[in-house]
């Protein structure tokens, strides 16, 4: 092995170690739920869903979305919306499907709990089914959690979002079809966080 090869390997090892040490301390916030599919007996009556939020939508991002929508129109807004990466929703079935989250907000409530809203493009969440015709561009998940991180939620397959920069949030403005229900939702707390 030549001295040049050794120095390249040493530099690569140092870079890898530095990347591992400087990895973001804040990993994904994970929420687990059980969703009533409404498709029994053809499909399973309940499906496990895991939502992994890697980042929350900021007030600055909401304002940028509003500016793009107001000045350049819906196509430019959809392009910018699709570039935002806030995590993944995983449908835990044999034909599981992962949907990228493009907007994620959390709003505290007055009882010590919180409301989590996740927005993504409208598409089929079950690869074996068809995408129903609808008039809205988005799908949304809304979770209502108590102070212990437990609660319930709803999955809107055809929703319209509302950008609210005054409240620094994204809201569900309207929806087309009845939402699917999450009768059980649990925020996953890491052991290090639970000890605090």
| 109 falls within a domain | yes
| 4 falls within a domain | no
Total number of domains in the chain: 1
| 43 falls within a domain | yes
**CA-to-CA distance for 77 and 51, rounded, in angstroms?**
24
| 6 falls within a domain | no
What's the mean pLDDT when you consider all of the chain? 81
Q: What single DSSP character describes residue 41?
A: T
Tens-place pLDDT, residues 119-134: 998 877 665 665 566 6
- Has residue 13 got a pLDDT over 90? no
**CA-to-CA distance for 157 and 62, rounded, in angstroms?**
22
In Å, how far are 60, 99, 140, 147 from 179, measured between CA atoms? 30, 17, 9, 24
Average pLDDT over residues 185-194: 75
* Omega within 30 of 0 (cis) for the link into 70: no
- The dihedrals phi and psi of 188, each to the nearest 5 degrees, come to -85, 125
pLDDT band for position 3 (cuts 50, 70, 90): low
| 2 falls within a domain | no
Question: Residue 174 sits in which domain range?
Answer: 29-188
């Amino acid at each position: 092995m030549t001295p040049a090869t050794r120095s390249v390997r040493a530099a690569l090892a140092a870079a890898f170690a530095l990347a591992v040490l400087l990895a973001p301390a804040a990993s994904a916030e994970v929420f687990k739920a059980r969703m009533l599919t409404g498709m029994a007996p053809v499909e399973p009556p309940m499906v496990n869903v895991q939502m992994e939020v890697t980042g929350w939508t900021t007030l600055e991002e909401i304002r940028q979305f509003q500016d793009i929508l107001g000045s350049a129109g819906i196509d430019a807004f959809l392009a910018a919306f699709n570039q935002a990466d806030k995590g993944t929703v995983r449908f835990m079935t044999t034909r599981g499907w992962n949907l990228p989250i493009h907007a994620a907000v959390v709003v505290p409530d007055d009882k010590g709990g919180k409301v989590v809203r996740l927005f993504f493009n409208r598409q089929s969440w079950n690869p074996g089914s068809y995408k129903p015709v609808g008039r809205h561009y988005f799908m949304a998940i809304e979770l209502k959690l108590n102070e212990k991180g437990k609660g319930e939620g709803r999955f809107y397959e055809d929703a319209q979002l509302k950008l609210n920069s005054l409240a620094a949030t994204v809201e569900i403005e309207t929806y087309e079809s009845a939402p699917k229900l999450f009768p059980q939702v649990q925020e996953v707390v890491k052991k290090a966080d639970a000890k605090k």
